[in-house]
Chain A
Amino acid sequence: MKRVFHGALPSLLSIALALAICFVALALSRSDVHLATDAYAQMIFGGVGDFPSFTESGRWGVLTRPWGESTSRAALLLLTGLSVAVAFSVGLFNIGAQGQMTVGALLAAVVGAHVSLPAGIHPLVGLLCAALAGAAYGSIAAVLKVRRGVHEVISTIMLNWIAVNLIENWLVTGPLRAHSEGTVSIAGTDQILPTAELPRLLSDGSRIHLGFPIAVLIALALWAWLSRLRHGFETRAVGLGPEAARTAGIPVERRIYQAMALSGALAGLAGGVLVLGTEFRFPAVLGAPYGFDGIAIALIGQNHPIGVAVSALFFGILRAGGTRMQLLGVHKSFPELIQGLALLFVAARYVWRKLLSGRAARPSPRSSEVQRA
């Protein structure tokens, strides 16, 4: 337990520092500390539930609705974060979660709108198709890497652009645009059928839907896979020492293919959750850049599935709550600012380590014991 805390400490301190800096900046820019405290309070109310308003009015909605907003964002951040973390476990830096997510979202939208299935299995089929599409798209980068030695950072960035231009700028505004009458415009593709919607857990009380529990289960499963299963051990070995893994008889290329496909599947699943959970169609523009946010979430979560889950939930809450800061005139991008700063500090975690361990480069423990003896 102590080790877990120590491992998470750099991230926790980074987030705390980012929050503190933004707090001070906010207070200074308005020369008003109360406004900053108000804004932070609003952020908490908007992220985890408006308790004052609930005690005042007794309406459950003000309490439960924020849960829906934070968890639906957290689900997306978690899936894309895991996508990045899984690729990282095999030593690849997947910048392509955004593209894989776009592909997944499109497939979910098409399956949701144009395939008739019973309510129980329609969303699952939609999510499955989204995951498969993402996996296929992610595998392109893996094939290029293994067969041709193309660096995955380059190929995934390019594949992002291909996905965005092909899907958002052509398919969604062209052949797959929603049907409408006369001169009316509808943004995005056809609305999905009601059977394809991810079930809402609190019906009308909140938008909290099945996506978040699914994402959390996946995080747990990935954690078990990476730390408990032989296959996960092999995957990590490939990431940490590919030549040693090869010499030890681990099929390195196969593990890379599998991890990259899984990474793409998770990003594709994020697209499916976005479409089937809240948007009910492929929108004109596919939401916030969750695929890129996933990189930040993974790094802040230190590429550990549980760490990623915690960091995704935190930033989901922050973002959902951050909207409410606008009621006090705080700019809409404030939560992203906090996230960006936190990432910056995490990236500088070498500095944290130095601070925390007191002294840098000490000789190995054994030799220092000897010196003392």
Chain B
Amino acid sequence: MVGENGAGKSTLMNVLSGLYRPDAGEVWIDGTQVHFRGPGDAIRRGIGMVHQHFMLVPPLTVAENVVLGREPTRRGLLDLEAAVDQVGETCRRFGFKLDPRARVEDLSVGSQQKVEIVKALHRGAQVLILDEPTAVLTPQEADELVAVTRSLAADGHTVVFISHKLREVLSVAERIVVLRRGRKAAEVRASETTAEALAELMVGESNAAKVASQGARAPAGPVALRGEAIDDGVAVHGVSFTVRAGEIVGIAGVDGNGQRELAEILTGLRPASGSLRLMDTEVLGASPGELRARGLGHVPEDRLLRAIVGPMSVEENLALGRHGRPPFARGPFIDFSGRRAHAASLLESWDVRPRDPSQRIAALSGGNQQKAVLARELDADPKVLVVVQPTRGLDIAAVRSVHERLRAHRDRGAAILLVSLDLDEVLALSDRLYVIFGGRLSVELAREDFDERRIGRMMLGAT
């Protein structure tokens, strides 16, 4: 199932898995109409849902997580050995390579997702719903997941695979349902369509052209951000780089190679040794507040944790970080009318929906939250911007819009450091790029040297 953010995919799946009750309409399983009064009913009828955000207890083991809620007992006491055996058996049956005794918190994201799938299968799910399962996975993990999904389907399971990565859907699915604005826009056979056709159906426009890659129009200016031998002794080792005014520099790499830690160091969230010069001032060790005051913007990777304060309103979130300056404040006071007006204009120009500045930001869809975050960071007009995974979870139209705005910001003379796990994105946006592997940066690559296959090898450690 494909559709833009807010097209209603998750809502529909929540109806199918018993979380929401439909106002109208019917749900049928194997020729029987069913009425779910809660998720328990759905599970009993063989529906297993794997949410985008995992519902696992990190300190517990794989086996404990899988049997949670229906733990095997012996004479009234928890029988964890039996749980390990049962879960091991389930894993073997469906071909998952998981150690039932491993702690979930020690597993990679991809493995955690497998635990979720095993959990659903262990409860006898015949219908599996995977809600944007590849959004958090590395390309290799995503490939593995596609294989797993295929084998489950071959085994007789029904799988609903939600995504907006069109190629993935084309490779995994037999039939594709396109949702648009809460309605079914189309249903096509995968073998009879193309990514372009799907994209058109999703956005409802015929101009869903492929995201174009455009280089810098003007030659880059002076160095705005320079790192020298940055090292935190754990994940980042002797990293040196430069970003000039008026260019986008990408950092490509497979997840877990130190890019997250590097971004944290650059934005004052993580201590490190070495040197970091922002507009020719040494700033390594400065607090996030000082860095912001010196013109550094930051779009963090973990949106819910780092970028927004969920219980606060959209308008308050749009002020966050520059809430002490006009138009958000007047002296020590909050300027409510100034803040409201500015927020409203940002929502308008960034097409954040709904257009209600007083709405709690947690109530917005992920894509709209991300738009709000980018709106805030770019609106502050930072001279240097560190952007991590800016389009994760966004639909095609939103991705295009974000890319356009990042380019426009560069063209206004800003220096942008882009950290992304999505190689296509790095290639599309960057004027130069580095590859990060094992906490070390490769030599820089200029745009004319961009070679997808070579970069792919570098990301895996080959030189």
Contacts and interface: CB of A to CB of B under 8 A. Distances in A.
A329 interface: no
Contact of A370 (B8, B300, B309, B316): B8
A233 B323 contact: yes
Contacts of B320: 237, 244-245, 248
A240 B289 contact: no
Contacts of A248: 288, 292, 320-321
B182 to A, nearest CB: 3
A236 B320 CA distance: 11
B306 A243 contact: yes
B305 interface: yes
Contacts of B408: none
Contacts of B19: 361
A249 B306 CA distance: 11
A364 B11 contact: yes
Contacts of A231: 332
A95 B305 CA distance: 27
B8 A367 contact: yes
Given A249-B291, A361-B19, A228 B334 contact: yes
A186 B53 CA distance: 64
A241 interface: yes
B310 A241 contact: yes
A228 B305 contact: no
Interface in B286-327: 287-293, 298, 300, 302, 305-312, 316, 319-321, 323-324
A99 B269 CA distance: 35
Interface in A228-277: 228-231, 233-234, 236-237, 240-241, 243-251
B320 to A, nearest CB: 4
B333 A228 contact: yes
A203 B47 CA distance: 74
A1 B300 CA distance: 37
A148 interface: no
Interface string A351-366: 0000000000111111
Given A229-B334, A367-B182, A247 B288 contact: yes
A361 B20 contact: yes
B354 A366 contact: yes
A29 interface: no
Q: How extensive is the interface on chain B, given as a class?
A: 35 or more
Describe A's contact surface by its main secondary structure.
helix
A66 B332 CA distance: 41
B455 to A, nearest CB: 29
B272 to A, nearest CB: 16
Given A240-B310, A361-B20, A363-B14, A249 B321 contact: yes
Contacts of B310: 240-241
Interface in B203-244: none
A231 B329 CA distance: 11
B334 A230 contact: yes
Contact of A247 (B20, B267, B312): B267
Contacts of A233: 316, 319, 323, 334
B300 A240 contact: no
Interface string B47-89: 0000000000000000000000000000000000000000000
B262 to A, nearest CB: 15
B363 interface: yes
A371 interface: yes
Nearest to A370: B182
A244 B308 contact: yes
B309 A244 contact: yes
A183 interface: no
A373 B333 CA distance: 43
Nearest to B299: A247
Nearest to B267: A247
B316 A250 contact: no
A240 B311 contact: yes
B181 interface: yes
24 contacts: A227-B334, A229-B334, A230-B333, A233-B323, A237-B316, A240-B310, A240-B311, A241-B312, A244-B306, A244-B309, A245-B309, A246-B306, A247-B269, A247-B288, A248-B288, A249-B287, A249-B293, A361-B20, A362-B20, A363-B14, A367-B8, A368-B23, A371-B23, A372-B23
- Cβ-closest 3 pairs across A and B: A249-B289, A370-B182, A241-B309
Interface of B: 6, 8, 11, 14, 19-20, 23-24, 181-183, 267, 269, 287-293, 298, 300, 302, 305-312, 316, 319-321, 323-324, 329, 332-334, 353-354, 363
Interface of A: 227-231, 233-234, 236-237, 240-241, 243-251, 361-368, 370-373
Given A249-B291, A251-B289, 7 more contacts: A228-B333, A229-B334, A236-B312, A363-B14, A363-B20, A367-B182, A371-B23
